[in-house]
Structure 1
Amino acid sequence: MKSSIHNLVAEASLDQRREIAAVPRVVIQAFCDSPDAMEAIELAAQDRLMARARVTVHSGGAASAVQALQSEPTPSLIVVESRDPAEVLLSQLDRLAEICDAGTKVLVIGHTNDVAIYRELVRRGVSDYIIAPVDPVTVIAAISGIYSDETSDKLGQVYAFTGAKGGVGSSTIAHNVGWMIGHRFGQDVILADMDLPFGTGSLDLNLDPAQGINEAIQDVNRLDSVLLDRLLTKYDHHLSLLAAPVSLERTYELSGDAFDPLLDIAQASAPFTVLDIPHLWTSWAKNVLTLADQVVITAEPDLANLRNAKNMVGFLKQVRPNDPPPKIILNRVGMPKRPEIKPRDFADAIGIEPIACVPFEAHLFGTASNNGQMIPQVSAKSGVSDILARATQVITGRKDTKRQKGVRGLSQLVGKFTSKVKNQ
């Protein structure tokens, strides 16, 4: 049964996931009449969008809920699955209403597709009614919808960029994608440099910030949208940098949830937040990768990158079962005299097609780095600029409002540079 549920979830589009806001910190108790519903809710409880909620699943339907809650405080939300006839279900819900606190919400999973039943349930104060069979995404969407007023400010998308190895250019890709989102889509972007001792965000953007991300995580009790705005360094009208301290005077031993408050406030403050995560494997890095809306892994076409990328993809699929797999970008493809794994073989090995193959252009990237510029600022008409622009569209799901005529498709560019690699 578990595999069939995962197949249903796999069919959910990325757009559907984007419309679902994270569930707030609530206590949820579910009472299920069938093992299928129990499994769907248990899987939903493991999703990153439900990370703040505390979920308990019981066997038995509405009658079990009445019996269990007579002697204990009622939770924030009660989920009830019932296969009983309508008159029996309504009677049990009336009994449940007598013992529930005034603020308790109720979600009913029914097996009858009847608008009359739905209207009667709404009249009795039921928050929502969904039809079985249900999958985890449907359950999460229903619960999120119930708390939509409390989560309506969580509109921003969080993109986490990390490398399969250190030094593969993940930071450069992240900074360019963040710049392109702001420049080409006209959207506000927060670029958070999370490499606290060695971050390059301020160098790549040619900024000299006085404060940044370290202050944001030092005293989370003071952190709010006003303080975050003060800590940001403006690059242009749309892009702002939350800079790393880049100091070796102290070490940074952080808890697993150290960045959670920052991510919450950033999501509420900007449509897009780009996280530049260093190549390390700590509790906080794993947590941030798990919670992000999308993960982008940058890798070079060699064996160590292949192994690491495959391991990271496997981990992320396990902890994010209801999300699309991470995006893969192959960087420095076609480096002269270097033996490489062909992009096709790399994709087959990890089971994911790269969204971009960025060619090795030492002079272009070196010039951009030394000048504190983005690739399109150095060479707007270069093939690399086109590839990064297309990758940005794939990551965000948005069309380029400032795209120039004659820009080649990603598949054409990937094909060109793949052919170049094959001929070397």
Structure 2
Amino acid sequence: MVVEKVSDKKSEFINESYESSSDQSNFLSHISVHAFCITDELCSVMESFKVDHKMDQVDMQITKGSIAEAINIFSESVTPNLLIINIKGDSEEILNSLNPLADVCDTSTKVVIIGDRNDVYLYKELISSGISEYLVEPLSSADIIRVLINIYDISVETVGKVISFIGSRGGVGSSTIAHNCSFSIASILKMKTVLVDLDLPYGTSNIDFDQDPIKCISDAIYNNSKIDRFFIDKLLVSYSDNLSLLTSPSTLERTYDFDSDDIFPLIDILYRSSSFTIIDVPNLWNSWARDLLVESDKVVITTSLDLTGLRNSKNLIDELKKLRNKDDSIYLVINQIGIPKRPEISIEDFCSPLGIKPSAVIPFDANLFGIAANNGKMISEINPKSSINAIFSDFIHILADCVTMNKPKRGIRSKITSFFNRK
């Protein structure tokens, strides 16, 4: 049983191993979760967690109530793989309330407690009693996903991040930024990365990386009922040890009409098998482009310092903030700074109405980018010591959450760590 009697102070931490199948990449689809929420805020977080595309096959139930409702329900039914319970009260009340829960929990059930007390004593007692994790409100759906991954020992590489790049308009260099970031993540951070070029008629990934593949992304989109991991592997072009490309056909032999249901099966396979899936999204606003930007873990908007860029960036940021349930996950890249004889809006005046600071500011360098483009190479391959390559390096560390932009850490782990550091 995961939850032992709390009165036994000498009980050891239970760390039951999950007997997973050989295909851990599909593990999330086999988890049942039941959350009991007291607050409306936590109910909303759980609803966001439930509809996240990473959780689309998880059997998720949400009940408005606390531990009493959980005990009542599971006294007559089987408990799920994961039980999430929202509890209020002081430390002793919370600990004592777990005794009857232990009597109704199946031996394989793991339990996460969510409270409102940042209490180290409570945290230690809960963990020593076999509770898998204790979290403190407020939380986000991303916090719940991370807990799920940690509890079941699913590596970050198994459940990766999807980062979509889009320009505020054509010609601002969004594809160039996406391609260089993909290469830098793979080469500098040594993380398995897949670049997906969704500009089917005009995409440049094949040219930028000097590749001429026989098959491309259209083979996956128009055969989505057949795709699996092995099918996708045959379409990927290996560019380096950690970087694979899913290029566009870049032809006008046909029109490319499809919707979200044609794309998401592909993305689902990629993010389960790579640390990072980088998506080069063309400059259009239709249902699949919107859905993709909404569902991506992070979105990078590349722009230039002009009125069109300002208007379109603001429209994108405002709309995505309304549609997405992810905080601080939209990044702004200002590109082509200092083009001779071209007037520019100052960075401060440009960013003020956007409510966002730039994560990277890239100067105009026709020679460096021109040489890279003409040779089918990335900036770090042409001049690894250049200041622009240093900017890419700094930016991908931010995207990969290796460093932050002076943002406070979140979650119980950082709070507990901070508490101990004060001792």
Partner of 1:344: 348
Q: 2:285 aligned with 1:281, yes or no?
A: yes
* Contact map agreement 2:127 2:133 (CA 8 A) in 1: no
Give the whole-Å Cα distance in 2 for the aligned partners of 1:184 and 1:119.
Answer: 37
Shift of 1:170: 0.6
Shift of 1:382: 4.5
Give the whole-Å Cα distance in 2 for the aligned partners of 1:213 and 1:80.
Answer: 43
> Structure 2: which amino acid aligns with 1:287?
D
Corresponding residue to 1:254 among 249, 254, 258: 258
Give the whole-Å Cα distance in 1 for the aligned partners of 2:342 and 2:243.
Answer: 36
* Contact map agreement 1:190 1:274 (CA 8 A) in 2: yes
Corresponding residue to 1:233 among 229, 237, 244: 237
Give the whole-Å Cα distance in 2 for the aligned partners of 1:94 and 1:188.
Answer: 41
* Contact map agreement 1:170 1:297 (CA 8 A) in 2: yes
Give the whole-Å Cα distance in 2 for the aligned partners of 1:367 and 1:397.
Answer: 31
* Contact map agreement 1:23 1:49 (CA 8 A) in 2: no
Partner of 2:150: 145
Do the aligned partners of residues 114 and 331 (structure 1) sit closer, same or farther apart at CA in structure 2, a change above 3 Å counting?
A: closer
Number of matched pairs: 371
| Deviates most, 139-148 or 334-343 | 139-148
Give the whole-Å Cα distance in 1 for the aligned partners of 2:156 and 2:82.
Answer: 18
Partner of 2:70: 65
> Structure 1: which amino acid aligns with 2:293?
L
Do the aligned partners of residues 363 and 195 (structure 1) sit closer, same or farther apart at CA in structure 2, a change above 3 Å counting?
A: same
Residues 183-219 of structure 1 show CA distances to partners (whole Å, capped at 9, x for unaligned) of 4444443221111121111111121110121223333
Q: 2:82 aligned with 1:81, yes or no?
A: no
Give the whole-Å Cα distance in 2 for the aligned partners of 1:323 and 1:311.
Answer: 17
Give the 3-state SS of the residue equivalent to 1:24 in structure 2: helix
Shift of 1:172: 1.2
Give the whole-Å Cα distance in 2 for the aligned partners of 1:303 and 1:229.
Answer: 42
Give the whole-Å Cα distance in 1 for the aligned partners of 2:123 and 2:269.
Answer: 39
Give the 3-state SS of the residue equivalent to 1:148 in structure 2: coil
* Contact map agreement 1:174 1:275 (CA 8 A) in 2: yes
Give the whole-Å Cα distance in 2 for the aligned partners of 1:255 and 1:108.
Answer: 40
* Contact map agreement 2:335 2:364 (CA 8 A) in 1: yes
Give the whole-Å Cα distance in 2 for the aligned partners of 1:291 and 1:180.
Answer: 23
Taking every aligned residue pair, what percent have the same amino acid on both sides? 34
Give the 3-state SS of the residue equivalent to 2:268 in structure 1: helix
Corresponding residue to 2:227 among 223, 228, 233: 223
Unaligned runs of 5+ in 1: 1-20, 400-424
> Structure 1: which amino acid aligns with 2:298?
Q
Give the whole-Å Cα distance in 2 for the aligned partners of 1:68 and 1:370.
Answer: 66
Shift of 1:363: 4.2
Do the aligned partners of residues 371 and 36 (structure 1) sit closer, same or farther apart at CA in structure 2, a change above 3 Å counting?
A: closer
* Contact map agreement 1:317 1:325 (CA 8 A) in 2: no
Shift of 1:54: 5.7
Q: 2:207 aligned with 1:207, yes or no?
A: no
Q: 2:339 aligned with 1:330, yes or no?
A: no
* Contact map agreement 1:316 1:325 (CA 8 A) in 2: no
Give the 3-state SS of the residue equivalent to 1:324 in structure 2: coil
Do the aligned partners of residues 167 and 51 (structure 1) sit closer, same or farther apart at CA in structure 2, a change above 3 Å counting?
A: farther
Residues 39-72 of structure 1 show CA distances to partners (whole Å, capped at 9, x for unaligned) of 5544554656555546443332233234456788
Partner of 1:14: none
Corresponding residue to 2:162 among 158, 165, 190: 158
Give the whole-Å Cα distance in 1 for the aligned partners of 2:40 and 2:331.
Answer: 34
Give the 3-state SS of the residue equivalent to 1:273 in structure 2: strand
> Structure 2: which amino acid aligns with 1:219?
N
Could you state the TM-score of these two structures normalised by the residue count of structure 2? 0.73
Do the aligned partners of residues 332 and 108 (structure 1) sit closer, same or farther apart at CA in structure 2, a change above 3 Å counting?
A: closer
Residues 316-346 of structure 1 show CA distances to partners (whole Å, capped at 9, x for unaligned) of 3334444423221112222233232112211
Could you state the TM-score of these two structures normalised by the residue count of structure 1? 0.73
Give the 3-state SS of the residue equivalent to 1:355 in structure 2: strand
Corresponding residue to 2:249 among 234, 238, 245: 245
Partner of 1:31: 36
Give the whole-Å Cα distance in 2 for the aligned partners of 1:134 and 1:120.
Answer: 24
* Contact map agreement 2:123 2:134 (CA 8 A) in 1: no
Shift of 1:357: 2.4
* Contact map agreement 1:22 1:49 (CA 8 A) in 2: no
* Contact map agreement 1:31 1:62 (CA 8 A) in 2: yes
Alignment of 1:22-421 (within 5 A): 24-25=28-29, 26-35=31-40, 37-42=42-47, 44-45=49-50, 50=55, 52-53=57-58, 55-68=60-73, 77-83=82-88, 85=93, 89-90=97-98, 92-94=100-102, 96-97=104-105, 105-109=110-114, 113-114=121-122, 118=126, 122=130, 128-130=132-134, 132-136=136-140, 137-149=142-154, 154-380=158-384, 382-397=386-401
Give the whole-Å Cα distance in 2 for the aligned partners of 1:325 and 1:115.
Answer: 29
Give the whole-Å Cα distance in 2 for the aligned partners of 1:118 and 1:157.
Answer: 31
Partner of 1:7: none
* Contact map agreement 2:297 2:329 (CA 8 A) in 1: no
Unaligned runs of 5+ in 2: 1-24, 404-423
Shift of 1:86: 5.4
Do the aligned partners of residues 253 and 103 (structure 1) sit closer, same or farther apart at CA in structure 2, a change above 3 Å counting?
A: farther
| Deviates most, 351-360 or 384-393 | 384-393
Partner of 2:4: none
Give the 3-state SS of the residue equivalent to 1:368 in structure 2: helix
Give the whole-Å Cα distance in 2 for the aligned partners of 1:141 and 1:240.
Answer: 26
Shift of 1:88: 6.3
Give the whole-Å Cα distance in 2 for the aligned partners of 1:145 and 1:234.
Answer: 30
Give the 3-state SS of the residue equivalent to 2:28 in structure 1: coil
Give the whole-Å Cα distance in 1 for the aligned partners of 2:153 and 2:268.
Answer: 15
| Deviates most, 372-381 or 300-309 | 372-381
Give the whole-Å Cα distance in 2 for the aligned partners of 1:158 and 1:37.
Answer: 25
Give the whole-Å Cα distance in 2 for the aligned partners of 1:271 and 1:36.
Answer: 31
| Deviates most, 375-384 or 232-241 | 375-384
